[in-house]
Amino acid sequence: MLYHIVCPAKYRKKIFTNVVSITLKTVCVDIENRYEIHFVEIGTDEDHVHFLIQSVPMMLPQRIVQTIKSITAIRLLELHPEIKKILWGGKFWTSGYYINTVSAYGNEKVIARYVQNQGKTYHQVFRNQLMMFEGLE
């Protein structure tokens, strides 16, 4: 199963600097090694993260999100104590998230490019999104 998941930071605070984003990706590699979750792409914007994830059909999507959010929150707060000053309540992620399945044959490449472009300027992303949909007719 292939999923596109979006997780906003608590209070939509802008906590995903370049350093925090690199740490997040490192933590996700550790998750891959311990669970049947494969991160195809990870795209960070200042206040949220897009994950393109592949997992086994036996693992419930809710469980995938719960695993990712809990482990990344613990590790990022440990490794970046400066985040605790920004997120005063001790919570890292919002309680909600967006999730959708992705067809491996229809739009995996489109979603992968969209996730890769997270955090780039609006005009550049808009042009890239227009190009993603060219030739899909």
Give the pLDDT confidence of 35-67 residue by residue, as tens digits: 999 999 999 999 999 999 999 999 999 999 999
Minimum mean pLDDT range among 37-46, 93-102, 104-113: 104-113
Mean of pLDDT over the chain = 86
Instruction: Give the Cα separation of 77 and 83 in Å (integer).
Output: 6
Instruction: Give the Cα separation of 78 and 50 in Å (integer).
Output: 22
DSSP per-residue string spanning 4-19: EEEEEBGGG-----HH
- Delineate the domains of the chain, giving CATH numbers in brackets: 2-132 (3.30.70.1290)
Instruction: Give the Cα separation of 3 and 48 in Å (integer).
Output: 16
Mean pLDDT of 82-94: 90
User: Which has the higher per-residue pLDDT, 117 or 3?
Assistant: 3
